[in-house]
Structure 1
Amino acid sequence: MTEVLEYGELFIGGAWTAPAGPAVIEVVSPHTEQVIGRVPHAGEADVDRAVAAARRAFDQGPWPRLPLAERIAVVTRIRDGLAARAERLARLISSQNGSPYAWSLAAQAHGPVAIWDAYLKTAAEYVFEEQRAGAFGPILVRREPVGVVAAVVPWNVPQFAAAAKLAPALLSGCAVVLKPSPETPLDAYLLAEVVREAGLPEGVLSILPAGRETGAYLVGHPGVDKVSFTGSVDAGRQVMASAARTLKRVTLELGGKSAAIVLPDADLDRTVRGLLAAAFMNNGQACVAQTRILAPRSHYAEIAERLTAAIGALRVGDPLDPATAVGPLVTARQRQRSLDYIAIAAGEGAELLTGGGVPAAPERGWYVQPTLFGAVDNGMRIAREEVFGPVVCLTPYQDRDEAVRLANDSDFGLSGSVWTGDVEAGIEVARAVRTGTYAVNTFNLDFLGPFGGYKQSGIGREFGPEGLAEYLESKTVVLPRGYRA
Structure 2
Amino acid sequence: MTLATLDLAADVKTILGDLGVKPERYTGGTLAVRSPVTGAEIGRLPEDTAESAAKAIDAAHQAFLEWRLVPAPKRGELIRLLGEELRAAKTALGRLVSIEVGKITSEGLGEVQEMIDICDFAVGLSRQLYGLTIATERADHRMMETWHPLGAIGIISAFNFPVAVWSWNAALAIVCGNSTVWKPSEKTPLTALATQAIFEKALTRYIAEGNSAPKNLSTLLIGGRDVGEVLVDHEKVPLVSATGSTAMGRTVGPRLAQRFARSLLELGGNNAAIVAPTADLDLTLRGVAFSAMGTAGQRCTTLRRLFVHDSVYDTLVPRLAKAYQSVTVGSPLEAGNLVGPLIDKAAFDKMKASLEAAKSAGGKVTGGERIEQDGAPDAYYVRPAIVEMPEQTGPVKEETFAPILYVMKYSDFDEVLRLHNDVPQGLSSSIFTNDMREAEIFVSDRGSDCGIANVNIGPSGAEIGGAFGGEKETGGGRESGSDAWRAYMRRQTNTMNYGRTLPLAQGVKFDVI
Same fold per superposition (TM over 0.5): yes
Partner residue, 2:465: 448
1:55-454 aligned within 5 A: 55-59=61-65, 61=66, 63-106=67-110, 108-127=111-130, 129-136=131-138, 137-199=141-203, 201-352=214-365, 354-361=366-373, 364=377, 365-381=379-395, 383-423=396-436, 425-431=438-444, 432-443=447-458, 444-454=461-471
TM-score by length of 2: 0.87
Q: CA deviation at 1:6?
A: 6.2
Residue 28 of structure 1 aligns with which residue?
Answer: 34
Residue identity matched to 1:370: P
> Which digits, 9 at most, give the CA deviation of each residue in 1:96-124, with x for residues without a partner?
11111111112x11122112222333333
Partner SS, residue 255 of structure 1: coil
Distance in 1 (CA, whole Å) between partners of 2:351 and 2:123 is 39
Measure the CA separation in 1 of the matches of 2:466 and 2:101. 28
C-alpha change, 1:427 and 1:119, in structure 2 (3 Å) is farther
**Whole-Å separation in 2 of the counterparts to 1:70 and 1:348:** 59
* Corresponding residue number in structure 2 for 1:12: none
- Determine whether 1:47 maps to 2:53: yes
The alignment-based identity, stated in percent, is 30
What amino acid is the match of 1:449? G
Q: Evaluate the alpha carbon distance shift between residue 69 and residue 202 of structure 1 in structure 2; reply closer, same or farther with a 3 A threshold.
A: same
Q: Tell me the distance in 2 between the aligned counterparts of 1:2 and 1:68.
A: 41
Q: Separation in 2 of the partners of 1:220 and 1:72?
A: 30
Question: Is residue 493 of structure 2 the alignment partner of residue 476 of structure 1?
Answer: yes
Q: Deviations over 1:328-379 (max 9, x none)?
A: 1111111111111111111211111x21221244563111211000134112
Residue 477 of structure 2 aligns with which residue?
A: 460
Tell me by how many angstroms 1:262 deviates. Answer: 0.6
Max Rg structure: 2
Separation of aligned partners in 1, 2:306 and 2:442: 15
Distance 2:410 2:125 in 1: 41
Q: Point out where structure 2 has 5 or more consecutive residues left out of the alignment.
A: 1-6, 204-212, 501-513
CA distance in 1, matches of 2:353, 2:218: 40
How far does residue 223 in structure 1 lie from its aligned partner after superposition?
1.8
Give runs of ≥4 in structure 1 deviating > 6 Å: 15-19
Matched AA of 1:90: G
Moved more, 370-379 or 118-127: 118-127
Q: What is the Cα-based RMSD across aligned positions, in Å? A: 2.3
Residues 24, 165 of structure 1: alpha-carbon distance in 2 compared, 3 angstrom cutoff: same
CA contact (8 A) 2:29 2:44 kept: no
Partner AA of 1:208 in structure 2: L
Q: CA deviation at 1:268?
A: 0.7
Q: Which amino acid aligns with 2:127?
A: A
- Kindly indicate whether the alpha-carbon contact (under 8 Å) linking 2:468 and 2:479 is maintained by their aligned counterparts in 1: yes
* Distance of 1:190 and 1:17 partners within structure 2: 12
With structure 1 as the length reference, what TM-score do the two structures score? 0.92
* Deviation for aligned residue 1:202: 0.8
> Over residues 26-75 of structure 1, what are the superposed CA-to-partner deviations in whole Å (9 max), with x where a residue is unaligned?
1111121111122222221221121111111122x2x1111111101001
| Distance across 1 between alignment mates of 2:113 and 2:494 | 41
- Contact 2:75/2:126 (8 A) holds in 1: no
Structure 2: how far apart are the matches of 1:376 and 1:152?
38
Give, in whole Å, the separation in 2 of the partners of 1:155 and 1:54. 24
Query: What letter corresponds to residue 125 of structure 2 in structure 1?
Result: T
Question: Aligned residues, how many?
Answer: 470
5+ residue gaps, structure 1, are 10-14
Aligned AA for 1:355? G
SS in 2 for 1:235: helix
Change (3 A) 1:458 1:207: farther
Cross-structure match for 1:38 = 44
